Amino acid sequence: MGVILHHQIRKKMVTLQDENYLGRKLNLGGFFLATTLLSVLLLTTYIMIQSGFAISVFAQEQNNNLSSADSALVTDTKATTNGINSTQVDFVSNIEQIRGHLNAAVMNKEAGNNSLAKAHTLHPIAEIYSTIEPSISNINSALNNTLATDLDQFSQMVNISSLDEFDEQSKRINGTLNQTIQQVIPRDAIDNSSFNLGVASDLLSIAETEYGEAVENGTIKEIVEYQDGQAFVSRARSVFSQASSTLPPEMNSNVEETGQFFSALDTAIQNKSNPEIIDRSVGSIIHEISEITGINEESLGGQETGAESGEVISEIKSLLNQTIDAYRQQNYEEAEALATTAYLDNFEFIEAPLAEKDEALMQNTEVLLREQLRQLIQDHVPIDELQLHIDKINYNLKNAEALLVVGSTP
């Protein structure tokens, strides 16, 4: 989704030294509301220079009684995929990111780390609010001002409130966010499982970016971004769980497998695994969501696989080598993630053409790779046993390559 690029640009502009400016920005919320009540059309440009950059703050009064059909997001003609409006997906994803920051702030407040709690109260203001503010204001300026004021108060409460008071303010903001979605996003989109799975995918893509900025060589170098990644994955899982409850029974196996991938992703994040492992885990989930919704992975934030069969098979072999290396080092979580990627992000893309050539070979390789390999890793079998199993898979891959790649011989 397009929000990822904007998210990365906004992050470059935010430091904790901007706190005073951000407080002043949201204190304008009361001023906006006063002008609304006086029914005066106001356009204010307020330029402030701090931390070496200029930021413009503006507001324009809108009719509070506009129906959702008049929303810029509802009437947006931006290209859709399978009937899903990506502008609306980005909007709800931003709302869910705010929820993630709220949860992270409360978690840090509970742990006694007010500095990190403060950081997470400021990120929604500095990174997200300016993106969603015009759409909310177009529908209901009073609601917009309420959200601005609530977010500002939340940041001011970090050092002076009890945990209960702080948590209560977080719940208040969540209630306002619920109202915001209901007023800005059409009901048919809110109730659409594919739409919500698109939101989950977008959150995962952003979490992937955050984690990549935060962890290097098993060490956290940016704690706020690391917690952002955790929080956004948590929100993605929550959105997925709610959406999956409305899916037809024939999707149960996909839902169950996706849940397992979420668990593996959580474990990898907790273990501070290399970003490449996180990327693969996210890719596995997005692949499943693509199968459920029928929306291609690139549109969901994943990577398009245009590789030829020979390239796919070479990648599977490489991943299997990495799997055995990780297993030898007793890094079982990474080994399982690599094995999962070998199947989901690679073998699945040659299943259909291979089945046309040799159905039995396809099915046998699928069982070896998808089911048995992961089970052996989970059982912590001796390394020689695992190597023997991978040798069987490689033998099948050699035969598959002979069938699929022009000029190959068994």
Query: In angstroms, rounded to a whole number, what is the distance separating the alpha carbons of residues 343 and 365?
Result: 10
The neighbouring-strand residues paired with 50 are: 53
Query: In angstroms, rounded to a whole number, what is the distance separating the alpha carbons of residues 244 and 254?
Result: 10
Q: Report DSSP state, residue 18.
A: G
Res 73: pLDDT: 55
Cα angle: 339, vertex 342, 346; to 5 degrees: 160
- More confident of the two residues 101 and 2: 101
Contact 146, 169 (CB under 8 A): no
Query: In angstroms, rounded to a whole number, what is the distance separating the alpha carbons of residues 377 and 331?
Result: 10
Q: Which of 192-196, 342-346, 393-397 has the lowest mean pLDDT?
A: 342-346
Residue 292 tokens, joined: 């459920």
Contact 121, 150 (CB under 8 A): no
- More confident of the two residues 46 and 252: 252
Question: What are the residues whose beta carbons fall under 8 Å from the beta carbon of 64, sequence distance 6 or more?
Answer: 36, 140, 141, 142
Residue 16 tokens, joined: 């904790």
Query: In angstroms, rounded to a whole number, what is the distance separating the alpha carbons of residues 108 and 174?
Result: 18
- Residue 312 pLDDT > 60: yes
Res 308: pLDDT: 67
Alpha helices in 221-372 (DSSP H): 223-244, 252-270, 275-293, 309-328, 332-342, 348-357, 359-366
Query: In angstroms, rounded to a whole number, what is the distance separating the alpha carbons of residues 345 and 367?
Result: 16
- Residue 119 pLDDT > 60: yes
Query: In angstroms, rounded to a whole number, what is the distance separating the alpha carbons of residues 240 and 208?
Result: 17
How far from chain centre, in Å, is Cα 239? 10
> pLDDT digits over 99-112, tens only?
999 999 999 999 99
- Residue 336 pLDDT > 60: yes
Q: How many CA atoms lie within 13 A of 211 on its CB side?
A: 30
- What integer is the mean pLDDT of 9-22? 41
How far from chain centre, in Å, is Cα 410? 42
> pLDDT digits over 32-61, tens only?
333 333 332 333 333 232 333 232 222 233
- What integer is the mean pLDDT of 22-41? 37
Query: In angstroms, rounded to a whole number, what is the distance separating the alpha carbons of residues 340 and 267?
Result: 14
Q: How many other C-beta atoms can be found within 10 angstroms of the C-beta atom of residue 257?
A: 18
> pLDDT digits over 144-183, tens only?
999 999 999 999 999 999 999 999 999 999 999 999 999 9
- Residue 3 pLDDT > 70: no
- Residue 79 pLDDT > 50: no
Alpha helices in 65-192 (DSSP H): 72-75, 86-110, 114-123, 130-139, 141-156, 163-184, 187-190
> pLDDT digits over 188-237, tens only?
999 999 999 999 999 999 999 999 999 999 999 999 999 999 999 999 99
Strands 215-216 and 84-85: unpaired
Residue 55, classed as helix, strand or coil, is strand
Res 56: pLDDT: 28
Query: In angstroms, rounded to a whole number, what is the distance separating the alpha carbons of residues 366 and 405?
Result: 19
Query: In angstroms, rounded to a whole number, what is the distance separating the alpha carbons of residues 291 and 285?
Result: 10
The neighbouring-strand residues paired with 47 are: 56
Res 340: pLDDT: 87
The proportion of the chain whose per-residue pLDDT surpasses 70, expressed as a percent, equals 77
Give all domains of the chain, ordered by start, each with its CATH number.
Answer: 3-65+82-293 (no CATH), 309-404 (1.20.120)
Residue 216 tokens, joined: 């290097």
Res 218: pLDDT: 92
The proportion of the chain whose per-residue pLDDT surpasses 90, expressed as a percent, equals 58
